[in-house]
Amino acid sequence: MDQVEYIHQCSGEGVDTWNSAMLLYGAALKELETKISILNEEFQNTHQYNPIEYVKSRVKSPESIIKKLKRYGYEDSMENMVTYCNDIAGLRIVCSFTSDIYRMADMIGRQNDITVISIKDYIRSPKDSGYKSYHMLVTVPIFLSDKVVDTKVEIQIRTIAMDFWASLEHKIYYKFEGNAPDYISKDLRECSGIVSMLDAKMLSLNEAIAEAKREDEKKDI
Protein backbone atom coordinates (compact mmCIF):
# COMPACT_ATOMS: atom_id res chain seq x y z
CA MET A 1 0.00 0.00 0.00
CA ASP A 2 1.29 3.47 -0.82
CA GLN A 3 0.85 6.53 1.37
CA VAL A 4 -2.01 8.04 -0.65
CA GLU A 5 -4.10 4.88 -0.22
CA TYR A 6 -3.30 4.94 3.49
CA ILE A 7 -4.39 8.59 3.80
CA HIS A 8 -7.66 7.77 2.02
CA GLN A 9 -8.35 5.12 4.64
CA CYS A 10 -7.78 7.61 7.44
CA SER A 11 -10.51 9.94 8.63
CA GLY A 12 -10.52 13.15 6.59
CA GLU A 13 -8.03 16.00 7.00
CA GLY A 14 -8.03 16.27 10.78
CA VAL A 15 -5.38 15.98 13.46
CA ASP A 16 -5.67 12.19 13.61
CA THR A 17 -4.87 11.87 9.90
CA TRP A 18 -1.93 14.25 10.27
CA ASN A 19 -0.57 12.29 13.23
CA SER A 20 -0.96 9.03 11.31
CA ALA A 21 1.01 10.45 8.38
CA MET A 22 3.75 11.79 10.63
CA LEU A 23 3.96 8.43 12.40
CA LEU A 24 4.84 6.85 9.05
CA TYR A 25 7.58 9.37 8.29
CA GLY A 26 9.11 9.02 11.74
CA ALA A 27 9.03 5.23 11.51
CA ALA A 28 10.63 5.31 8.04
CA LEU A 29 13.52 7.39 9.36
CA LYS A 30 14.04 4.98 12.27
CA GLU A 31 14.09 2.04 9.85
CA LEU A 32 16.66 3.72 7.61
CA GLU A 33 18.84 4.89 10.49
CA THR A 34 19.01 1.29 11.75
CA LYS A 35 19.90 0.00 8.29
CA ILE A 36 22.61 2.63 7.82
CA SER A 37 24.07 1.85 11.25
CA ILE A 38 24.24 -1.86 10.42
CA LEU A 39 25.86 -1.21 7.04
CA ASN A 40 28.41 1.06 8.68
CA GLU A 41 29.25 -1.52 11.36
CA GLU A 42 29.54 -4.27 8.76
CA PHE A 43 31.87 -2.13 6.65
CA GLN A 44 33.98 -1.35 9.70
CA ASN A 45 34.17 -5.03 10.58
CA THR A 46 35.05 -6.13 7.05
CA HIS A 47 37.34 -3.32 5.90
CA GLN A 48 38.48 -1.78 9.22
CA TYR A 49 37.24 1.53 7.88
CA ASN A 50 34.27 3.74 8.75
CA PRO A 51 32.82 5.51 5.67
CA ILE A 52 30.30 7.59 7.65
CA GLU A 53 31.17 10.63 9.76
CA TYR A 54 27.64 11.25 11.03
CA VAL A 55 23.95 10.89 10.17
CA LYS A 56 21.19 13.47 10.66
CA SER A 57 17.45 13.06 10.22
CA ARG A 58 14.44 15.36 10.37
CA VAL A 59 10.73 15.52 9.59
CA LYS A 60 9.68 18.72 7.83
CA SER A 61 7.55 21.13 9.89
CA PRO A 62 3.89 21.75 8.97
CA GLU A 63 4.75 25.36 8.07
CA SER A 64 7.50 24.27 5.66
CA ILE A 65 5.23 21.68 4.03
CA ILE A 66 2.41 24.19 3.44
CA LYS A 67 4.88 26.79 2.14
CA LYS A 68 6.33 24.30 -0.34
CA LEU A 69 2.89 23.20 -1.58
CA LYS A 70 1.84 26.81 -2.17
CA ARG A 71 5.13 27.55 -3.94
CA TYR A 72 4.36 24.79 -6.43
CA GLY A 73 0.71 25.80 -6.80
CA TYR A 74 -0.95 22.99 -4.84
CA GLU A 75 -3.65 23.20 -2.20
CA ASP A 76 -2.51 22.30 1.32
CA SER A 77 -4.28 18.94 1.54
CA MET A 78 -2.98 15.71 3.07
CA GLU A 79 -3.12 13.95 -0.30
CA ASN A 80 -1.07 16.67 -1.99
CA MET A 81 1.38 16.57 0.89
CA VAL A 82 2.20 12.87 0.50
CA THR A 83 2.05 13.06 -3.31
CA TYR A 84 4.11 16.15 -4.07
CA CYS A 85 6.36 16.68 -1.02
CA ASN A 86 9.06 14.06 -1.38
CA ASP A 87 11.37 15.47 1.30
CA ILE A 88 9.07 15.49 4.34
CA ALA A 89 11.22 12.77 5.88
CA GLY A 90 14.88 13.54 5.25
CA LEU A 91 18.02 11.59 6.10
CA ARG A 92 21.47 13.11 5.60
CA ILE A 93 24.54 10.89 5.53
CA VAL A 94 27.84 12.73 5.79
CA CYS A 95 30.92 10.83 4.58
CA SER A 96 34.64 11.42 4.76
CA PHE A 97 35.41 11.16 1.04
CA THR A 98 33.59 11.47 -2.28
CA SER A 99 34.21 7.80 -3.04
CA ASP A 100 32.33 6.90 0.17
CA ILE A 101 29.23 8.66 -1.14
CA TYR A 102 28.86 6.33 -4.11
CA ARG A 103 29.80 3.33 -1.98
CA MET A 104 27.03 4.14 0.50
CA ALA A 105 24.50 4.82 -2.26
CA ASP A 106 25.28 1.44 -3.82
CA MET A 107 24.89 -0.38 -0.49
CA ILE A 108 21.57 1.34 0.20
CA GLY A 109 20.28 0.61 -3.30
CA ARG A 110 21.02 -3.10 -2.90
CA GLN A 111 18.78 -3.45 0.18
CA ASN A 112 15.94 -5.78 -0.84
CA ASP A 113 13.22 -3.90 1.03
CA ILE A 114 14.21 -0.41 -0.10
CA THR A 115 12.82 0.81 -3.42
CA VAL A 116 14.81 3.55 -5.15
CA ILE A 117 12.36 5.87 -6.93
CA SER A 118 14.82 8.42 -8.30
CA ILE A 119 18.42 9.59 -8.06
CA LYS A 120 19.78 13.10 -8.52
CA ASP A 121 23.56 13.35 -8.65
CA TYR A 122 24.38 16.97 -7.88
CA ILE A 123 28.04 16.04 -7.43
CA ARG A 124 28.69 15.18 -11.07
CA SER A 125 26.12 17.80 -12.16
CA PRO A 126 26.04 20.57 -9.50
CA LYS A 127 23.20 23.06 -9.28
CA ASP A 128 23.81 26.54 -10.70
CA SER A 129 24.32 27.81 -7.15
CA GLY A 130 27.26 25.42 -6.70
CA TYR A 131 25.29 23.02 -4.50
CA LYS A 132 26.69 19.47 -4.47
CA SER A 133 25.11 16.40 -2.93
CA TYR A 134 23.83 12.96 -3.92
CA HIS A 135 20.07 12.59 -3.52
CA MET A 136 18.10 9.35 -3.41
CA LEU A 137 14.31 9.24 -3.15
CA VAL A 138 13.35 5.87 -1.71
CA THR A 139 10.38 4.12 -0.17
CA VAL A 140 10.63 2.02 2.98
CA PRO A 141 7.93 -0.51 4.01
CA ILE A 142 6.42 0.34 7.39
CA PHE A 143 4.72 -2.62 9.04
CA LEU A 144 1.67 -1.46 10.97
CA SER A 145 -0.67 -3.70 12.93
CA ASP A 146 -2.93 -4.44 9.95
CA LYS A 147 -1.14 -3.18 6.85
CA VAL A 148 2.20 -2.34 5.24
CA VAL A 149 2.69 1.21 3.95
CA ASP A 150 5.53 2.14 1.58
CA THR A 151 6.77 5.48 2.89
CA LYS A 152 8.93 8.04 1.06
CA VAL A 153 12.23 9.32 2.41
CA GLU A 154 14.76 11.60 0.75
CA ILE A 155 18.35 10.57 1.44
CA GLN A 156 21.13 13.11 0.95
CA ILE A 157 24.73 11.85 0.91
CA ARG A 158 27.63 14.30 0.90
CA THR A 159 31.11 14.94 2.28
CA ILE A 160 31.87 17.05 5.35
CA ALA A 161 33.03 19.90 3.10
CA MET A 162 29.86 19.73 0.96
CA ASP A 163 27.72 19.71 4.10
CA PHE A 164 29.56 22.74 5.49
CA TRP A 165 29.01 24.66 2.24
CA ALA A 166 25.32 23.67 2.01
CA SER A 167 24.66 24.70 5.62
CA LEU A 168 26.19 28.14 5.07
CA GLU A 169 24.36 28.60 1.76
CA HIS A 170 21.06 27.83 3.47
CA LYS A 171 21.73 30.35 6.24
CA ILE A 172 22.80 33.05 3.79
CA TYR A 173 19.81 32.65 1.48
CA TYR A 174 17.46 32.45 4.46
CA LYS A 175 18.67 35.88 5.58
CA PHE A 176 18.02 37.31 2.12
CA GLU A 177 14.76 35.33 1.70
CA GLY A 178 16.16 33.63 -1.41
CA ASN A 179 17.28 36.87 -3.10
CA ALA A 180 20.94 37.21 -2.23
CA PRO A 181 22.99 39.89 -4.06
CA ASP A 182 24.83 38.72 -7.18
CA TYR A 183 28.26 39.15 -5.59
CA ILE A 184 27.31 36.81 -2.75
CA SER A 185 26.00 34.16 -5.18
CA LYS A 186 29.24 34.50 -7.17
CA ASP A 187 31.38 34.08 -4.06
CA LEU A 188 29.35 31.02 -3.02
CA ARG A 189 29.94 29.40 -6.41
CA GLU A 190 33.67 30.10 -6.07
CA CYS A 191 33.65 28.52 -2.60
CA SER A 192 31.90 25.49 -4.08
CA GLY A 193 34.84 25.09 -6.47
CA ILE A 194 37.24 25.28 -3.53
CA VAL A 195 35.21 22.59 -1.74
CA SER A 196 35.54 20.33 -4.79
CA MET A 197 39.31 20.84 -4.88
CA LEU A 198 39.54 20.13 -1.15
CA ASP A 199 37.53 16.92 -1.47
CA ALA A 200 39.68 15.78 -4.42
CA LYS A 201 42.89 16.56 -2.54
CA MET A 202 41.79 14.78 0.63
CA LEU A 203 40.71 11.71 -1.37
CA SER A 204 44.05 11.66 -3.16
CA LEU A 205 45.86 11.97 0.18
CA ASN A 206 43.82 9.15 1.68
CA GLU A 207 44.63 6.89 -1.28
CA ALA A 208 48.33 7.74 -0.97
CA ILE A 209 48.28 6.85 2.74
CA ALA A 210 46.54 3.55 1.98
CA GLU A 211 49.12 2.73 -0.70
CA ALA A 212 52.02 3.57 1.64
CA LYS A 213 50.49 1.31 4.29
CA ARG A 214 50.23 -1.56 1.79
CA GLU A 215 53.88 -1.10 0.83
CA ASP A 216 54.93 -1.21 4.51
CA GLU A 217 52.94 -4.41 5.02
CA LYS A 218 54.72 -6.02 2.05
CA LYS A 219 58.09 -5.17 3.57
CA ASP A 220 57.09 -6.86 6.84
CA ILE A 221 56.29 -10.14 5.09
Structural domains in the chain, sorted by start? 3-161 (3.30.460.10)
- Detail the DSSP E strand segments found in the chain: 52-59, 89-95, 115-121, 134-143, 148-159
Of the residues 5, 75, 79, 154, only one is catalytic, namely 154
Mean predicted confidence (pLDDT) in 90-118: 95
Confidence label for 127 from pLDDT (cuts 50, 70 and 90): very high
**What is the pTM assigned to this prediction?**
0.87
Q: Is 154 a catalytic residue?
A: yes
Quote the distance between the C-alpha of residue 142 and its chain's center: 19
In 60-205, at which residue ranges do the beta strands (DSSP E only) sit? 89-95, 115-121, 134-143, 148-159
Q: Give the tens place of pLDDT for each residue, 37-60.
A: 999 999 889 888 889 999 999 999
Q: Tell me: pLDDT of 12 over 60.
A: no
- The predicted pLDDT at position 130 comes to 92
pLDDT of residue 210: 78
Residue 16 has pLDDT above 80, yes or no: no
User: Which pLDDT does position 211 carry in this prediction?
Assistant: 81
The closest alpha carbon to 89, from 7, 154, 149, 1, belongs to 154
Mean pLDDT of the chain: 89
Could you tell me if residue 74 is left (phi over 0), alpha (psi between -120 and 50 degrees) or otherwise beta? Answer: beta
Tell me the C-alpha distance between 81 and 65, whole Å: 7
Alpha-carbon distance 114 to 126, whole Å? 26
Confidence class of residue 220 from pLDDT cuts 50, 70 and 90?
Answer: low
| SS3 state at 27 | helix
> Is the pLDDT score of 213 beyond 80?
no
